[in-house]
């Protein structure tokens, strides 16, 4: 249950490190594109409504009308899978955007200005890290009420510390470099140095980390929805589909396995793409 | 060493205070307030006002926080308004289950992770290493609830080897108790070993390049002796930390695993409190879990300093 702890140390194992943009990377990227397109076109595709119940057709095996069969409530599995991708992608992409924006900015400020500001930022971020993330997410959603918006905000908020750390670490080393000293000697303001000199260099490691964060977020959203505490029903979500499928594991195991495999492939794809980018942008790689 | 402990304690107190503050204020995110939630359908303005006064909800928020904090420091976390059970009783009743699960999971994870890490480190870049690190990377993408479902499907539904649910207390039926913990512990261990394996593998690779290992080889010591006696201990610092952090995390019980396998631990207590909208229990458990997490991390820091003198002298 790694939940939201986005450990920065994924370096020691990465099958994709040496190959850079190898086949694995391309397959992973292609899968992400497929999921994206399917989720974006969900309304246009010739699919039954994801919450339409086909009377008399519960837990059907695949047929021409229902390519992946139907679920416990006679709803089309393929349609739910594709609409479910929306929930995963919306939460999975937007929540890390919150972390990237706020955490990235805080980390850059801490790494650039140092001193008391750094102590304050690192201290407050450590407090947030002191909470087991899944417990905090569950508690906040329980109080605020279940909705995709609340879920996104909570998970996004929880991803701030990790982004702060990555941004701070990257800024710390960059701020010592010659081009920053040169810019300062030329009379550049702090704002200009941060935005024009540091940001373009910090952005790539942050982007790589963002993709890994998307993978973790999809898992967290899936876990919460699986417990019935994430995306509120009847809106389909991979996590809740797995949870519903679990009830009939004995007779129709595919109801749980189809969304599980889809989610696994998507998370794996984001991990592979993120790890490849991270390996390329990580300055320490040269030393290894 | 004392100075180091002192510095860590000075750091621990504000973090714990911040944890109580955050726990307290999360509760104020509740739309309306607790009095409405407690009265439910029977909420009339008079009753709400009376209950608010009785619970002190009409006091200023800072005052309420201090009052609550005072109670918490005396070990009084309140009482469930659904069952009447005190939060402290609810937690102490469930804690043994979570601890048993945690120990079994952590031991299994170490038993799988350590041998794999050693083999990988010795033949770094070999076929076994590449396959094992590949699996470990893939594992990052399989969340616990998927593993749990696979386990239930394989061992309970298909093979009928182990129960998927059904907790029995150890005192009543020791064997049944252990059997009930096997699948959940395996599920957790499946998530733990790749992490443990990765940290030990990379530390071990570094250790094996040290001069004294070459010396040991030159002396003609047996390879297993070099690995287990000379290399394993100095390589296990990070492993200790990671294991400790995992233990801290699992105090919260493995929320999901306990829920799936219906084990009455802390994690399940939290989830059922949410389902029942039992906010007093919820608040108490969140505080307990977060404080436990902070304190275990603190102990791990101390342990780490005991093992590695460079840290307590601030030269790491």
- pLDDT tens for B107-148 read 999 999 999 998 888 888 888 888 888 888 888 788 888 888
Q: What is the mean pLDDT of residues A168-194?
A: 87
A157 CB within 8 Å of a chain B CB: no
A63 phi and psi, to 5 degrees? -135, 180
A134 contacts B252? CB cut-off 8 A: yes
pLDDT tens by residue, A250-261? 778 888 888 999
HSE of A192, CA atoms in CB hemisphere, 13 A: 11
Q: List pLDDT tens digits, range A189-203.
A: 888 888 888 888 888
In contact, A120 and A168? CB cutoff 8 Å: no
Given a contact cutoff of 8 angstroms between Cβ atoms, the answer to whether A241 and B110 are in contact is no
Q: pLDDT tens across A275-287, in order?
A: 888 777 765 544 3
Chain B residues with CB-CB distance to A2 below 8 A: 140, 143, 191, 195
Q: Do A219 and B143 touch (CB under 8 A)?
A: yes
Tell me how close the Cα of B115 comes to any Cα of chain A, in angstroms: 17
If you search the block for the tokens 């890290």, which residue do you land on? A129
Q: pLDDT digit string (tens) for B241-278?
A: 788 877 877 766 588 888 888 888 888 888 888 888 88
| Structural contact between residues A278 and A212, judged by C-beta atoms closer than 8 angstroms | yes
Phi, psi of A38 (to 5 degrees): -60, -45
Polymer length in residues for chain A = 288
Residue A229: DSSP 8-state: S
Question: pLDDT at position B1, please?
Answer: 65
- CB-facing half-sphere around the CA of A26: CA atoms within 13 A: 4
Q: Is A241 on the interface with B (CB under 8 A)?
A: no
Smallest CA–CA distance from B274 into chain A, residue:
A142
Tell me which of A184-188, A216-220, B227-231 is least confident. B227-231
Contacts of A219 in chain B (CB under 8 A): 141, 143
Decide if pLDDT at A76 tops 60: yes
Whether A59 and A72 have beta carbons less than 8 Å apart is answered as yes
Q: What is the ipTM of this complex?
A: 0.79
Q: By C-alpha distance, which of A101, A116, A114, A207 is closest to A156?
A: A101
- Does the distance separating the beta carbons of B271 and A229 come in below 8 Å? yes
Q: How far is B220 from chain A (nearest CA, A)?
A: 30
Could you tell me the CA-to-CA distances from B218 to B62, B212, B232 in Å, in that order? 69, 9, 18
Which residue from A130, A140, A226 is facing B294, i.e. has the nearest CB? A130
Distance in angstroms (rounded) separating the CA atoms of residues A225 and A220 = 8
Instruction: Name the token pair of B260.
Output: 């799936």
- Start-to-end CA distance of chain A, whole Å, equals 29
| B130 chain-A contacts, CB cut-off 8 A | 15
């Amino acid at each position: 249950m790694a939940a939201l702890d986005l450990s920065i140390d994924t370096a020691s194992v990465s099958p994709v490190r040496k190959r850079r943009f190898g086949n694995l990377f391309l397959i992973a990227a292609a899968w992400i594109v497929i999921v994206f397109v399917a989720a974006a076109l969900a309304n246009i595709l010739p699919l039954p409504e994801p919450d339409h119940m086909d009377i008399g057709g519960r837990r059907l095996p695949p047929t021409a009308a229902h390519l992946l069969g139907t679920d416990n409530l006679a709803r089309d599995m393929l349609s739910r899978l594709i609409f479910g991708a929306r929930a995963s992608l919306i939460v999975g992409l937007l929540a890390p955007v919150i972390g990237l924006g706020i955490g990235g900015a805080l980390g850059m400020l801490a790494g650039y200005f140092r001193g008391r500001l750094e102590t304050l930022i690192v201290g407050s971020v450590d407090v947030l890290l002191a909470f087991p993330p899944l417990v905090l997410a569950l508690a906040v959603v329980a109080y605020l009420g279940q909705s995709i918006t609340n879920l996104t905000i909570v998970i996004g908020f929880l991803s701030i510390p990790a982004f702060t750390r990555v941004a701070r670490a990257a800024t710390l080393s960059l701020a010592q470099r010659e081009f920053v000293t040169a810019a300062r000697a030329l009379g550049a303001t702090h704002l200009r140095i941060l935005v024009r000199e540091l940001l373009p260099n910090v952005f790539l490691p942050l982007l790589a980390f963002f993709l890994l964060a998307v993978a973790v977020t999809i898992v967290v959203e899936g876990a919460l929805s699986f417990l019935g505490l994430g995306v509120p029903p009847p809106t389909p979500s991979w996590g809740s589909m797995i949870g519903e499928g679990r009830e009939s594991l004995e007779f129709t195991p595919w109801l749980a396995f189809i969304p599980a495999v889809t989610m696994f492939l998507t998370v794996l794809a984001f991990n592979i793409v993120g790890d490849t980018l991270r390996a390329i942008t990580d300055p320490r790689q040269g030393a290894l | 060493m004392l100075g180091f402990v002192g510095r860590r304690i000075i750091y621990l107190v504000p973090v714990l205070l911040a944890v109580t503050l955050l726990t307290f204020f999360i509760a104020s995110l509740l739309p309306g307030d607790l009095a409405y939630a407690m009265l439910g359908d029977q909420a009339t303005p008079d009753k709400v006002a009376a209950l608010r006064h009785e619970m002190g909800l009409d006091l200023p928020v800072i005052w309420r926080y201090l009052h609550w904090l005072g109670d918490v420091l005396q070990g009084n976390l309140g009482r469930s308004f659904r069952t009447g059970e005190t939060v402290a009783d609810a937690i102490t009743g469930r804690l043994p289950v979570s601890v048993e699960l945690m120990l079994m999971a952590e031991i299994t994870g170490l038993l799988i992770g350590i041998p794999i890490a050693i083999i990988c480190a010795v033949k770094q870049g070999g076929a076994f290493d590449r396959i094992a690190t590949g699996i470990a990377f893939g594992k990052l993408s399989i969340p616990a609830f998927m593993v749990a479902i696979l386990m239930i499907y394989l061992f309970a539904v298909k093979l009928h080897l182990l129960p998927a649910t059904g907790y029995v207390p150890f005192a009543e039926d020791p064997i049944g108790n252990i059997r009930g913990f096997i699948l959940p512990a395996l599920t957790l261990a499946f998530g733990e070993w790749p992490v443990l394996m990765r940290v030990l593998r990379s530390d071990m690779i570094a250790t094996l390049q040290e001069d004294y290992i070459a010396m040991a080889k030159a002396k003609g010591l047996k390879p297993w002796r070099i690995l287990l006696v000379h290399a394993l201990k100095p390589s296990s610092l990070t492993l200790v930390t990671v294991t400790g952090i995992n233990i801290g995390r699992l105090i919260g019980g493995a929320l999901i695993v306990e829920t799936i396998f219906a084990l009455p631990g802390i994690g399940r207590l939290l989830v059922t409190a949410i389902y029942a909208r039992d906010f007093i229990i919820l608040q108490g458990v969140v505080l307990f879990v977060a404080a436990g997490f902070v304190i275990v991390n603190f102990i791990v820091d101390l342990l780490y300093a005991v093992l590695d003198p460079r840290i307590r002298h601030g030269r790491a």
